[in-house]
Amino acid sequence: MTRLRMGMVGGGPGSFIGPVHRIAAELDREIELVAGAFSSDPARSRVAGDSYRIDGARAYPDLETMLREEAARSDGIDFVAVTTPNFHHLPAVRAALAVGIPVICDKPATATLAEAEEMAGLVRDAGLPFALTYTYSGYPLAREARARVAAGAIGAVRKVVVEYPQGWLAGEASGKQAEWRVDPSRAGAGGCIADIGVHAFHLAEFVTGLRVTRIMADLGTVVPGRLLDDDCQILLRFENGARGALLASQISVGERNGLRIRIYGDVGGLDWKQECPNVLVLHHIGGRTELIQAGDAALGTEAALASRTPGGHPEGYLEAFANIYRDFARQLRGEPGSLAPGIEEGVRGMRLIDLAVRASAENCGWIDFPK
Amino acid sequence: MTRLRMGMVGGGPGSFIGPVHRIAAELDREIELVAGAFSSDPARSRVAGDSYRIDGARAYPDLETMLREEAARSDGIDFVAVTTPNFHHLPAVRAALAVGIPVICDKPATATLAEAEEMAGLVRDAGLPFALTYTYSGYPLAREARARVAAGAIGAVRKVVVEYPQGWLAGEASGKQAEWRVDPSRAGAGGCIADIGVHAFHLAEFVTGLRVTRIMADLGTVVPGRLLDDDCQILLRFENGARGALLASQISVGERNGLRIRIYGDVGGLDWKQECPNVLVLHHIGGRTELIQAGDAALGTEAALASRTPGGHPEGYLEAFANIYRDFARQLRGEPGSLAPGIEEGVRGMRLIDLAVRASAENCGWIDFPK
Amino acid sequence: MTRLRMGMVGGGPGSFIGPVHRIAAELDREIELVAGAFSSDPARSRVAGDSYRIDGARAYPDLETMLREEAARSDGIDFVAVTTPNFHHLPAVRAALAVGIPVICDKPATATLAEAEEMAGLVRDAGLPFALTYTYSGYPLAREARARVAAGAIGAVRKVVVEYPQGWLAGEASGKQAEWRVDPSRAGAGGCIADIGVHAFHLAEFVTGLRVTRIMADLGTVVPGRLLDDDCQILLRFENGARGALLASQISVGERNGLRIRIYGDVGGLDWKQECPNVLVLHHIGGRTELIQAGDAALGTEAALASRTPGGHPEGYLEAFANIYRDFARQLRGEPGSLAPGIEEGVRGMRLIDLAVRASAENCGWIDFPK
Amino acid sequence: MTRLRMGMVGGGPGSFIGPVHRIAAELDREIELVAGAFSSDPARSRVAGDSYRIDGARAYPDLETMLREEAARSDGIDFVAVTTPNFHHLPAVRAALAVGIPVICDKPATATLAEAEEMAGLVRDAGLPFALTYTYSGYPLAREARARVAAGAIGAVRKVVVEYPQGWLAGEASGKQAEWRVDPSRAGAGGCIADIGVHAFHLAEFVTGLRVTRIMADLGTVVPGRLLDDDCQILLRFENGARGALLASQISVGERNGLRIRIYGDVGGLDWKQECPNVLVLHHIGGRTELIQAGDAALGTEAALASRTPGGHPEGYLEAFANIYRDFARQLRGEPGSLAPGIEEGVRGMRLIDLAVRASAENCGWIDFPK
């Protein structure tokens, strides 16, 4: 059984997410990184190729070259992984799809809603596998939460609290990771909302299986001199009438990566925290509370499949990310069962950014979120 | 040294908060319950008197009788504690103050904002001690949090997240405690917002030392057939420009009494949870996190004074409540140092209810909260 | 209904446990502190009387005077509470019982095993109510754990881990609380084992309902210059063959009062921590884990009776202590249902100290613990 | 830069630890699995080869064939990873070293102490890289704990509590993982002590930098019909006089993989839990407690190097395991800095098993543990 061959776009020296994509892709040995256009600077691309220990000849100076030369090989790449800053997603996806190469792309989909809609059209027309790495939906117990909600464990969903506090941008934004995220020309119209707010939004829709239909938004730019939002408070209404709140922040000093979702139905409640990802709390009305843990015999199929070790052997972020890649590999092989987010979820995320930025600026109270 | 003598209004058979007031008042032996008008039903008032083990002759059929007969005794009551449902607070306070008797009153101040403003006038004119039992501000580490913010430990406050989820009203409201709280004629215009939202609001202003100046409110009535709100989401702006969110709910299945406050400044963050009240988390920018615990040598004066046992011997709700009474006793003795909330905080709580109910109904976006 | 009248022995200025006994005794208003021989120094006894706000005439210079004068009053004391250092317990108990006055006594029972056996004889002969304040058995969820074990929730007990780490004696022992505890003439033959090891031991027997029948002990004196043990490691065997470990320490820097017990049976496990006392973890074989919380509807009678507030309103050490007093009040009134430890548990604790000190010194491997 | 080529011994169908070795080895792309003798059954070895997606020709029927055929290739294996049950470790290591191939071997070193001593001689004589996968010493914060102790953060070590409760063998041992572990012919003389006790022991010596010099052991066989120990309680004494306790169990129902170590010195304390591996608690005498978290700027070099993601992105068991492989790769490349355990630690673990089994059987109190 050969492995699927991946070509990376982005992920050059200093990148956080490039190496993460590489590890995640290869974790289950279904995929192998073989090529990359890691940087727009050819020399840096070669350095990155060395650091990934791939064949030096396959560290290309740009995406176009990679697509062309890999197409000429019998063992050329089967797909590309786009790990560049947001503004570069659309051209990369467009180029790959144009030559029949499937794409897995980092989130958010693009820099603007218009770009996302264009991307949706391209994906639709190409008819090729496409996935978006909303990582957190790859955690086994986030998937278990989704399965439990779907199975009625908490009854009809009434209330969702999803929060995502971080503190790393509370001061000056310095370093490669920080700088492009606070630069509208590279990040797009959203700062915190685009970087992490969309993760929280996707997780809420993923776990509940419900779509948001209205929002009331309050985005703020807290750090002096910053150009994009760094703190978001958004009230939600879901298609079934359920109420919700989404709090995301990058100025919450001391918070690392505190994504958490709580969902309350008419007969139960669920609570899951990304930083302690192997436990899911399930409350039953009347007072009984259970801890559902990774590795438990009672886990549903999807959560069980998404784990690699027995209970008590913690899996984390890289393994969750690998689950998205495993799903994408399923798509590439034409197998069913993928839970990986696609372009539709990508467009919804971009719509959230677009609406929240506008609604917040206009203080317009509730506004509709097209279904 | 004799003890201050307390007469209770309300707290009859089936009451939750009456016995709590009794225990809290007497915990430090500065106060003694000696009389009460525990119920509007004279027989039930006598039963309650027996259950409290007071002199049967001092279990009165109504407040007026208590005030009159106690005034005639040389060992008559020094103050009254009002523990009745909200709609009865104003007449009780009016009657006591009219005969020169100080009052400690349960929260929220009254059933309506207009009543609270009237009460404020009465308290001002009477010039007598008055306190409101926003219990949670009595916890040692809530007071420590306040002192740390005031001392600059987290720098300028930028963001506040205060939440208060409960689940006990997720189903039918049954039982004495539930029934009056969901009845507008006894509770007033607010349900969840009046029962627990005001606690969260007070705690936010208490700990930050900042006043809310604008809100955007989303109150919901989730349980079918209910007449008052049972789930509240309110976005906040403080006088210094700090942003905030207040989430209170009584339909969050599985949550007991999850009051929690997180405050982020430009150089630090604080996190305190009522259900685990003896630990305060303090984050410093740059990554250092400390646990501040009850009994620690580093605690400030107010927190140290508010503790009765060494570290590791958990104190809880009753002791926090007792700290409010201890403060009130200071006022009665003419001593300084009370941190107990007064009528001003009471009016602010009622204003929150009034504004939130109206703003939510009108979907008006941000509205001002008078300072 | 009048209250039971308590006279305290010990608890003078600077005492930690005296005020705790007072609060605990009075919390439910079944008992009232009315008299005391608070110190062997008459002036200090008067100061203490003032601090407790009792009638100055009833702050006596010594126990004998208290017993004599109170006997002459129509409203004299109904019992005495002994809160002095260990070496003074036996004479105090002897004097009270001799004049027909019931006693509640702090732990450990005495300073030596021989004294405890003498005390047992006195209690037996007197036929009067007697209780020992092993506080931690008063916690609602410790009682729930006991009830669950008895009901078979975890099956046959196989393994017990009870630990009690503290760190407050890791440095020089200074201050009134520390000094007598490290002085053999006042504390007896045991240091850490007598101060907290016996609590752990009692809790293990209380919750499991099983008696220890063999021990292997390793007591150490870690802090240079100390005369008594300050760190204890004891392996246990119970009457049914179950295995166990008891770890107690006063040199574990950073630990406050970390009493914890874990009990594993053939079909389940239980885990309870004193510093987080309102949650009990229950594991079922096969992987299901439940959180049992104070206030839950599923609590058994004893735990339910031992709580004063609804779920989520934390109760702590003082309330647990009050539950021991409430039990003792039941005994005084001739009512059934007391779970308070008595002299038998007191003798067992002293036997533990005696055996552990000897066995540790002799490195004798396992030795029998008489049933 | 080419990758180091790994050949696996063991890890066939149904293996837990084989796939873990593969993932861990490849995580950082310094190593690639290229060959294996995955099972003593040639057909099963081929099935495993397919599951690992290696070249079918390199899934060998036995180790000897693998060593011979790989030696004949220009791209033959650089080392072997031994992942078989304990009794097979020595022959595998012997065969590999004999042909000049370095080895990384799963723990415990062997099935008996005599075998371990023989293995030590082989490793010494061969002069080739050798490592033992005591996984838990690969966790970043376990390494941070070690560095902090070495730097004096807690002063002189006085007390160590290391515990490792599991519950998965509380019932009948069924399934491939369980069966060989409870079979003396495959596991050796130790059950729980050999499977997990040695992990705890190694971690204690690793973190403290101190050697155990005496033990007092109590090993039990709790489940009826079992032939090896399934519950271990061992008291420890370290070379500097520090005291300790090691509790390991496989019958503690509800415990997953609860390895935890607490170390107390004369000025501080440390607490680390494998199931929550990204936090290290550091207590300072006098009451200050800090949380040290993965990704913190204050981490030492070794912990920082052992992390792949920023703070708040949890890493777990596989990443810890990968750190052992990364260390081994350093050894293979002749670079300094490896913290991986070697044969010396392997012999110490086997000595622990040997001594504990004998001492427990003989009830001999303290016995010396050769340094």
User: Half-sphere exposure (CA, 13 Å, Cβ side) for A262?
Assistant: 21
Are both C177 and C263 inside the same structural domain?
Answer: yes
Is residue D1 pLDDT above 70, yes or no? no
Q: Which of B233, B285, B364 sits opposite A235 (nearest CB)?
A: B233
Spatial distance between the Cα atoms of C233 and C256, rounded to a whole number of angstroms: 18
Task: Give the pLDDT mean for A347-357.
Answer: 97
Task: Count CA atoms closer than 13 A to D342's CA, side-chain side.
Answer: 16
3-state helix, strand and coil shares in percent for chain A, rounded to the nearest 5: 40, 20, 40
Work out the number of other CB atoms within 10 angstroms of the CB of residue D317: 27
Contact partners of B by the rule of 3+ C-beta pairs under 8 A?
A, C, D
Distance from CA of C104 to the nearest CA of A (A): 36
Q: Are residues D13 and D128 in the same domain?
A: yes
Beta bridge partners of B35: B7
* CB under 8 A, 24+ apart: contacts of C286-291: C286/A297, C287/A293, C287/A295, C287/A296, C287/A297, C287/A298, C287/A311, C288/A290, C288/A296, C288/A298, C289/A290, C289/A291, C289/A293, C289/D254, C290/A288, C290/A289, C290/A290, C290/A291, C291/A289, C291/A290, C291/A291
Q: D135, D160, D183 — which closes off a domain? A: D135
* Within a domain: B93: yes
- Which residue type is seen at A199? H
Q: How confident is the model at residue A35 (pLDDT cuts 50, 70, 90)?
A: very high
Tell me the β-bridge partners of B107. Answer: none
Q: What is the mean pLDDT of residues B217-243?
A: 97
Interface test with C, best of D253, D257, D289 (most C CBs within 10 A): D253
Nearest neighbour of C365 by CB, restricted to D163, D254, D365: D365
Nearest to A315 among D52, D53, D316 (CB): D316
Task: Give dist(CA B369, CA B52) in Å, integer.
Answer: 42
Which structural domain range is residue B180 located in? 140-308+342-362
Residue C311 lies in a domain: no
CB contact under 8 A, B271 and A254: yes
The pLDDT value given to residue C182: 84
Chain C touching partners, 3 or more CB pairs below 8 A = A, B, D
CB contact under 8 A, A293 and C297: no
Residues of D in contact with B289 (CB under 8 A): 290-291, 293
Q: pLDDT digits over D20-38, tens only? A: 999 999 999 999 999 999 9
Taking the Cβ of residue C233 and every Cβ of chain A, the question of whether any pair is shorter than 8 Å is answered with no
Q: Each residue of C195-204: pLDDT tens digit?
A: 999 999 999 9
Q: Does A226 fall in a domain?
A: yes
Of B2, B30, B311, nearest to C256 by CB-CB distance is B311
C318/B318 Cβ within 8 A? yes
* Residue indicated by tokens 């839990």: D273
Interface test with B, best of D271, D278, D289, D292 (most B CBs within 10 A): D289
Assign D53 a pLDDT band (cuts: 50, 70, 90): very high
CATH of residue A28: 3.40.50.720
Contact between B289 and D293 using a beta-carbon 8 Å cutoff: yes
CA distance A18 to chain D (A): 11
The reported pLDDT for the residue numbered C1 is 61
Q: How far is CA D12 from CA D18, D47, D110, D133, D325, in A?
A: 7, 8, 19, 18, 20
Q: Pick A248 or D178 by higher pLDDT.
A: A248
> How confident is the model at residue B2, as a pLDDT?
84
User: Quick one: C115 and C249 in the same domain?
Assistant: no
Q: What percent of chain B has pLDDT over 70?
A: 100
For residue B7, list its beta bridge partners. Answer: B35, B80
* pLDDT tier for residue B164 given thresholds of 50, 70 and 90: very high
Chain-centroid distance, C-alpha C324: 9
B1 pLDDT higher than 80 = no
D278 and D258 share one domain: yes
Residue B298 near residue B305, CB atoms below 8 Å: no
Under an 8 A CB cutoff, do B315 and C312 touch?
Answer: no
* Residues C272-322: tens digit of each pLDDT: 999 999 999 999 999 899 999 999 999 999 999 999 999 999 999 999 999
Parallel/antiparallel/unpaired status of strands A212-220 and C212-220: unpaired
CA triple A257-A259-A262, angle to 5 deg: 155
Share of chain D above pLDDT 90, in %: 92
B163 in contact with chain A, both atoms CB, cutoff 8 A: yes
Tell whether B165 lies on the interface with C, counting CB pairs under 8 A: no
Whole-number Cα distances in Å, D353 to B173, D65, D215, D365: 61, 33, 11, 16
C124, with CB counted inside 10 A (0-12, 13-18, 19+), is exposed
b/e string for A92-106 if b means 16 or more Cβ within 10 A?
bbebbbeeebbbbbb
The CA distance from B285 to B314, in Å, is: 29
β A279-284/A268-273 pair status: antiparallel
Please indicate if any CB of chain D lies within 8 Å of the CB of B310: no
* pLDDT tens figures, A287-334: 899 999 999 999 999 999 999 999 999 999 999 999 999 999 999 999
Contacts of B90 (CB under 8 A, 6+ apart): B110, B111, B115, B118, B119
Q: How many domains does chain A have?
A: 2
Lowest mean pLDDT among A73-82, A331-340, B170-179, C214-223: B170-179
- C20 contacts in chain B (CB < 8 Å): 308-309
In a domain, A325, yes or no: no
- CB of D117 closer than 8 Å to CB of D348: no
Of B290, B296, B298, the CB nearest to D290: B290
Residue A227 pLDDT class (50, 70, 90 cuts): very high
Looking at C87, C114, C135, the residue that finishes a domain is C135
Give the tokens for residue B63. 């407040």
| CB pair distance less than 8 Å for C311 and A286 | no
CB–CB contact C308 B258 (8 Å)? no
C91 lies in the same domain as C166 = no
Contact (Cβ atoms closer than 8 angstroms) between residue B32 and residue B4: yes
CB-based contact, A304 to chain C, within 8 Å:
no
Same domain, A45 and A58: yes
Final residue of a structural domain among C112, C135, C158: C135
Q: Strand D79-82 relative to strand D103-105: parallel, antiparallel, unpaired?
A: parallel
Residue C319 lies in a domain: no
| Residues D183 and D239 placed together within one structural domain of the fold | yes
User: C150 with C292, same domain?
Assistant: yes
For the segment A272-280, the average pLDDT, to the nearest whole number, is: 98
Integer Cα distance of C162 and C261 in angstroms = 4
Q: Which tokens belong to D30? A: 């310094």
pLDDT tens digits, C74-85: 999 999 999 999
Mean pLDDT of C27-56: 96
Co-location of D184 and D120 in the same domain:
no
Q: How confident is the model at residue A187 (pLDDT cuts 50, 70, 90)?
A: confident
Question: Do D74 and D202 share a domain, yes or no?
Answer: no
What is the Cα–Cα distance from D304 to A28, expressed in whole angstroms? 25
The pLDDT > 70 percentage for chain D reads 100
Q: Which amino acid is at D85?
A: P
Cβ contacts of A103 within 8 Å, gap of 6 or more: A79, A80, A81, A82, A92, A93, A96, A97, A128, A129, A130, A131
Least confident interval from A58-67, C58-67, D179-188, D237-246: D179-188
CA A265, A269, A274, A278 torsion-angle sign: negative
Q: At what angle do helices B113-126 and B343-362 cross, to 10 degrees?
A: 170
The closest CB to that of D256, out of A30, A274, A293, belongs to A293
Say what the pLDDT of residue B145 is: 98
**Percent of chain C at pLDDT above 90?**
92
- Let me know the angle formed at the C-alpha of B203 by B200 and B204, rounded to the nearest 5 degrees: 85
Out of B286, B291, B296, name the one closest to residue D297 (CB): B286
Alpha-carbon dihedral sign for residues C192, C193, C197, C202: negative
C8 CB-side CA count, 13 A: 31
Tokens 């070697």 belong to D342
pLDDT value for A371: 81
Least confident of B353-367, D170-184, D195-209: D170-184
- Outline where DSSP puts E strands in chain B: 4-9, 31-37, 79-82, 103-105, 130-132, 157-165, 212-220, 231-238, 243-249, 260-265, 268-273, 279-284, 289-293, 367-368
One-letter identity of residue B357: V
Average pLDDT over residues B166-171: 96
Average pLDDT in the C227-240 region? 97
- Domain presence at residue B320: no
Dihedral (CA of A302, A305, A306, A311) sign: positive
User: Where residue D154 sits, what CATH number does that domain have?
Assistant: 3.30.360.10
Q: Using one digit for the tens of pLDDT, what is the confidence trace for D88-141?
A: 999 999 999 999 999 999 999 999 999 999 999 999 999 999 999 999 999 999
Give me the pLDDT at residue A1, please.
Answer: 61
A22 and A88 within one domain? yes
Residue A255 domain-assigned?
Answer: yes
Query: Which of the other chains make 3 or more beta carbon contacts under 8 angstroms with chain D?
Result: A, B, C
User: Rounded CA gap, D262 and C166, in Å?
Assistant: 13
For residues C267 and C284, the answer to whether their CB atoms sit within 8 Å is yes
**A222 → chain B, closest CA residue:** B158
Whether B164 is covered by a domain: the verdict is yes
C217 and C269 assigned to the same domain: yes
| Mean pLDDT, rounded, for D273-296 | 96
The two counts, helices (H) then strands (E), for chain A are: 13, 14
